[in-house]
Amino acid sequence: MTTLKNDLFLKALKGETVERPPVWMMRQAGRYLPEFMALKKKYDFFTRCRTPELAAEITVQPIDIIGPDAAILFSDILVIPQAMNIEVEMKDGIGPWLPNPVRSLKDVEQVVVPDVYEELGYVFDAIKLTKEMLDNRVPLIGFAGSPWTILCYAVQGQGSKNFDKAKELCFAHPEAAHALLQKITDTTIAYLKAKVASGVNAVQVFDSWGGMLSPTDYQEFSWKYIQQIVDALKEETEVIVFGKGCWFALQEMAKSGAAALGVDWTCSARNARYLTGGNITLQGNFDPSRLLSPPDQIKKMVTQMIDEFGKDRYVANLGHGILPNIPVENARAFVDAVKNYSK
């Protein structure tokens, strides 16, 4: 294993004492960068995901331009359902579009648990290429969506404010929902293990729609499947779990064996530390819209955020993905504020 020139991120995940917290941003490889938009004009979304050279180039762009302490592989959570025999398109102005949503037990039976190397080989090729381009400058993060979040898209057929169809499947046909969730879980575990084998240094599970569920339903339809993923991977790599709107589950998540927990901007540092017992690495939680503030104000707010979380067992990040309308200099101000932090 070649030594990383900057292993601050991995040290923070392991709970080691650091000079300053590491920093990266969710969705940092993407749409706020002019360099990304130039490639977007030339190639459609899934072409960018499926072409290792493009995915690697996009992954490395923010490392060169804004300088975070970790890279996250450019991909999408919906490559998993695609590999499982569920058709997924990206439509301009709509986002994900699944023409044949999964709405019954019969539909669930058509969903396959694939050979991930056969169906998703392009992702592992992208990892190897990215590692070459990164040249050990920073660690590389691999990721997947939570089984519940994937179910939301597979059943709803598109993004939604309330995912009512997804909930209907869970509550009216729980047998079908659990069968689907287990298939997604099995595929995700195989996928993340293959990512680790291909060279990622840590993995993150995004539970983007976890906050749509009540605490009781969250345990049944989301958390128990995330726990399976953590159990399967925690011996092999550091696992970060990020549930948007899931502050109510932080106490349970802290006992899971995950290396770190993501926190969104609606949960204060104090509450997050209290709920997690103060001895697990937390990641977050700057409001992405706050990057529209003037750079000098961003710097003050970032310093305050680090003071509140504490510099150890902490990874500075946003509370969700970076927005497309953020000026690059503001994104850089966020990263620099963390890098210049001294207590």
User: Which residues are annotated as part of the binding site for substrate?
Assistant: 27-31, 46, 76, 153, 208, 320
Task: Show the tokens assigned to 98.
Answer: 């699944």
166: β partners: none
Residue 135: CB partners within 8 Å, gap ≥ 6?
none
Task: Show the tokens assigned to 191.
Answer: 């996928």
Q: Which amino acid is at 290?
A: R
Tell me how far the alpha carbon of residue 193 is from its chain's centroid.
16
Half-sphere exposure of 18 (CA within 13 A, CB side): 28
Residue 138: CB partners within 8 Å, gap ≥ 6?
4, 5, 6, 9, 63, 68, 69, 70, 71
Contact 249, 210 (CB under 8 A): yes
Nearest Cα to 313, choosing from 9, 27, 5, 24? 9
* SS3 readout for 88-135: CEEECCCEEECCCCCCCHHHHHCCCCCCHHHHCHHHHHHHHHHHHHHC
Report the number of secondary-structure helices (H) and strands (E) in the chain: 17, 9
Euclidean distance between CA atoms 256 and 233, whole angstroms: 12
- Binding-site residue numbers are 27-31, 46, 76, 153, 208, 320
Contact 94, 158 (CB under 8 A): yes
